[in-house]
A and B are shown apart, each in its own frame.
Chain A
């Protein structure tokens, strides 16, 4: 296929946490809110004059300082972020909001605070207690925490409008992005998709790390371009896979999978679109914040949600997206040393294989995959096994 016109531009935006659009927004006097997890509702930080950047540590090399503070047994995402913070890579932030999501990311941010990693005078940290069950009690907690730890500090420190009208406007803007990404993502359902998993991943990631309003024009152009794009006569992939698991913000990861012959048709991971880029539907009867929180709580697929319905739902959801996006197999991945995904990967892979009948590959991986020969071999072998199953008429 012909290269996307703006792909290089999007790739470049991912080369630095403090990218071109972030710098532009800050030059205009806007407030940059750092976050580290899906469970801090993004829409509440893209409010008025504020915009959010979910933290990444692109081009990570050595993590020696991060490893000193966190030891070599914490996940590399945490260590890479701390390393980057110590290097001064997040000086551009105006505040940082972290949930008590997983312990490791929480400790990472606490270390940043203790090491006084940001020199801005009014810089502050907020830690949110986010629900671990999807029920009314959890929702009440979520609302209270979002109000007192996100909205009120943004208002008090930066004078940001946190009225219902402002929230509705933020949701509207958020939904525009979601519609664009969903529409782009829907092309992955085609028999010969006109967008690769890699391209989609790059574009989706940009929406997590750039001010939305500055990105939207390029996204709209890209959507138009993809609509009119002609897929290659000969499809270069040998199987379709859904990638499920923990945080992936490494631009090489999906590329590696696709270079190994597996088309990534569905992205159920942090920094992916499933969930994350679904519209927030508001009604007029209920308080806006409540509606936002409920939708985040219900759609969250993080393994730290501990109630049985949610645990079962996580595996059902993988089955649903695998069907919807016509996946031949599932790759369960986890960042090495991630406890929640270690368990979810083990259980989920058995459930999806034994109860739903999918071929499943499970992998653990470093933060920066690079050009890992080991991973490439495993994905290639998985693709071959799917092909053999197809030839022999095995399950799925």
Chain B
């Protein structure tokens, strides 16, 4: 283990029976010290979080809170093998996201009626889906759009793979088949199990990614309305690339805004909206820069460094938190500098890969493994490729269409809906644009929209001369397909089809059964 990228034998950090690494990764004095101090910062954030009495209450009230103990480990996993600027980009991003989630939890627990708060305490909160754009809240500076699912479900699985298995069992005991997507199913399970925090003045639900997500909202809306929280459903068109549906989409946004105004008594504030719109545009511009770098021989902001951060910024933040726009610029600066220095993220790049499909939520650090183990450069993933179109910073009428456009192009739904063109044709176009020779195709077995193109992916990959590697998983449920099997999918392809040897043999097969 040492200072140089690719000098570590990372597989040796794993131990089958422990929840954490055997020891911290040695990255040379400078990088190890940097990484360690940032790790201490995260530990301090956790400690500070637990000093808040409401948070302690929340910790003991909700089963899913236990997963948050794994925050430092989660960041460690996602920064494996990184050095220099990439390590810094990673730490900056994840620390900001972690602090944003800590704030979200603190807000939720301070308003949660299950923890004794009065309903008035959350009269400024509009509940949103976890997979929903929050940009309509850019017009309400005095309100907050919060998602309880993000805190109780989405983040938890990132932290600990089996975080939702209990809730999946709960919902299946109620008659839900095991073949539906475990994401909305576990949200429904949380509702049924009484582990949903109760707060908010009203809620705006949306048909986000898929049929399962749409239907899961039905279970949640019943729970919300039982608790006196009125729910509005915003129906975003599915065939979102067609001009004929755009007026409908814009009107849906107008109706949702009118609902919020009616429920909260607040008026849509265009000045604040356009202020946020400017930051949304900054995010899009900077992301475009990172993607431009990824077209070169020396990509810099790739894999985990673009994946979760961009997801958070695009949908949950949507220009409302200035720190993200500032960090975007900082990342571009660091990445550009690293590009000039021809900085590599592994000692050798063997394949340039597009990561397509729906990522395994319990194994998002898999892309780091691809790079460290096999030298597969994960250029970008499907969920990152959302709308980068600039939005208006001063035209009110156009703003409705912009908001609608972003709603239509929410993460994942912009590929799972909209016809095969956005899922298939765009993939091959990206492969060409980014000079990728390989596609790592997540096959989330319960994602019907992706599964429905299985045969066409294979057929067209052959036609385009692309190496297609399937990686099967069940999104939230590692009991169905464990992490080891995901790695085996790649190992088998690399060994038997491409006849390659791993860059780091210690990573080819190791035991991480009990790892957080």
Q: Which residue of chain B is the closest to A334 with respect to CB atoms?
A: B177
- Assess whether B211 is in contact with A347, with CB atoms less than 8 Å apart: no
| Contact A69:B237 (CB < 8 A) given known A144-B244, A311-B218, A364-B177 | no
Question: B244 to chain A: which residues have CB within 8 Å?
Answer: 129, 144-145, 148
Number of A-B contacts (CB under 8 A): 152
Q: Which of A73, A107, A345 contacts B453 (CB 8 A)?
A: A107
Binds B, one of A132-140, A185-193, A288-296, A366-374: A132-140
- Assess whether A306 is in contact with B217, with CB atoms less than 8 Å apart: yes
B271 within 8 A of A: no
Overall SS of chain A's interface: helix
By size class, the interface of chain A is 35 or more
A4 within 8 A of B: no
| Contact A337:B448 (CB < 8 A) given known A342-B180, A362-B175 | yes
- Assess whether A306 is in contact with B448, with CB atoms less than 8 Å apart: no
- Assess whether A131 is in contact with B235, with CB atoms less than 8 Å apart: yes
B323 within 8 A of A: no
By size class, the interface of chain B is 35 or more
Could you tell me the distance between the alpha carbons of A343 and B172 in the complex, rounded to whole angstroms? Answer: 11
Question: A153 to chain B: which residues have CB within 8 Å?
Answer: none
Question: A339 to chain B: which residues have CB within 8 Å?
Answer: 180-181, 210-212, 215, 448
B214 within 8 A of A: yes
Binds A, one of B134-142, B308-316, B416-424: B416-424
B242 within 8 A of A: yes
Q: Which of A73, A106, A306, A346 contacts B446 (CB 8 A)?
A: A73
Shortest CB distance B207–A (Å)? 6
- Assess whether A337 is in contact with B179, with CB atoms less than 8 Å apart: yes
Question: B69 to chain A: which residues have CB within 8 Å?
Answer: none
Shortest CB distance A315–B (Å)? 11
| Contact A107:B449 (CB < 8 A) given known A140-B248, A339-B210 | yes
Shortest CB distance B302–A (Å)? 29
Overall SS of chain B's interface: helix
B350 within 8 A of A: no
Could you tell me the distance between the alpha carbons of A140 and B255 in the complex, rounded to whole angstroms? Answer: 14
Could you tell me the distance between the alpha carbons of A69 and B235 in the complex, rounded to whole angstroms? Answer: 29
Question: A169 to chain B: which residues have CB within 8 Å?
Answer: none
Shortest CB distance B418–A (Å)? 9
Could you tell me the distance between the alpha carbons of A364 and B179 in the complex, rounded to whole angstroms? Answer: 12
- Assess whether B238 is in contact with A343, with CB atoms less than 8 Å apart: no
- Assess whether A343 is in contact with B176, with CB atoms less than 8 Å apart: yes
A349 within 8 A of B: yes
Q: Which residue of chain A is the closest to B421 with respect to CB atoms?
A: A110
- Assess whether A110 is in contact with B419, with CB atoms less than 8 Å apart: yes
Question: A69 to chain B: which residues have CB within 8 Å?
Answer: 454-456
- Assess whether A343 is in contact with B180, with CB atoms less than 8 Å apart: yes
Question: A110 to chain B: which residues have CB within 8 Å?
Answer: 419-420, 452-453
Question: B255 to chain A: which residues have CB within 8 Å?
Answer: 137
| Contact A129:B452 (CB < 8 A) given known A306-B218, A308-B231, A339-B180 | no
A111 within 8 A of B: yes
Could you tell me the distance between the alpha carbons of A220 and B171 in the complex, rounded to whole angstroms? Answer: 48
Could you tell me the distance between the alpha carbons of A350 and B223 in the complex, rounded to whole angstroms? Answer: 14
- Assess whether A141 is in contact with B456, with CB atoms less than 8 Å apart: no
A-contact bits for B194-231, CB 8 A (1 contact / 0 none)? 00000000000101001110111111011001000001
B239 within 8 A of A: yes
- Assess whether B239 is in contact with A70, with CB atoms less than 8 Å apart: no
A-B residue pairs, 6 tightest by C-beta: A107-B452, A69-B455, A343-B215, A339-B211, A100-B238, A71-B451
Beyond known contacts A73-B445, A343-B180, A346-B176: 14 more, CB 8 A cutoff: A70-B454, A74-B452, A103-B211, A107-B420, A107-B451, A114-B424, A137-B255, A140-B251, A145-B244, A306-B207, A308-B231, A336-B177, A342-B177, A343-B176
Q: List 6 A-B contacts (CB under 8 A).
A: A70-B455, A73-B451, A103-B417, A114-B424, A306-B233, A334-B177
